[in-house]
Amino acid sequence: MRYSEDTVLTGTVDADETANTANIPSMSLLDLVLNSLQDNKAEEIVTIPLKGKSTIADHMVVATGRSTRQVSAIIEKLHARIKDTTGYISKIEGKGAGDWVLLDAGDVIIHVFRPEVREFYQLEKMWSGEAPAPQSSNLEGSED
């Protein structure tokens, strides 16, 4: 489902110039996020419903960018699109490194990874209830 320009998303901006997303339907925000990720060539986009699992958000979206530059660009464009459309100023973490960037858009949390980093953390498996495959470690001097 594509986000339609006819869909009206509303937000209110307070004195600190941050927006309240209480008036934005989370599904409309999710559509906006998914469309932006698709438009900016994000790969392997996965949506994880969080209602009933967590109170942090209604949805989590995980996507991949091919390089640190693309990961940062995807997040920057998504951040601008959310702000321009809803008035909400989302929070960004990890943009400097560009390996794993998190964007908190209120009811939707977005993670964009480089492929190797996404494979290592296996975030989708953690939230879907599947146990991630154990990662081998090379800890010298460790004993069982």
Does 18 or 37 have the greater pLDDT score? 37
Report the C-alpha gap between 22 and 37 in whole angstroms: 23
CATH, residue 123: 3.30.460.10
Which long-range contacts does 7-10 make (Cβ < 8 Å, 24+ apart)?
Answer: 7/31, 9/85, 9/86, 10/86, 10/87
Residue 142 falls inside a structural domain:
no
pTM above 0.75, yes or no: no
Q: Judge whether 68 lies within some domain.
A: yes
Domain around 117 = 12-128
List pLDDT tens digits, range 111-126.
999 999 999 999 888 8
Tens of pLDDT, residue by residue over 31-80, are 999 999 999 999 999 999 988 888 888 899 999 999 999 999 999 999 99
Phi, psi of 130 (to 5 degrees): -80, 140
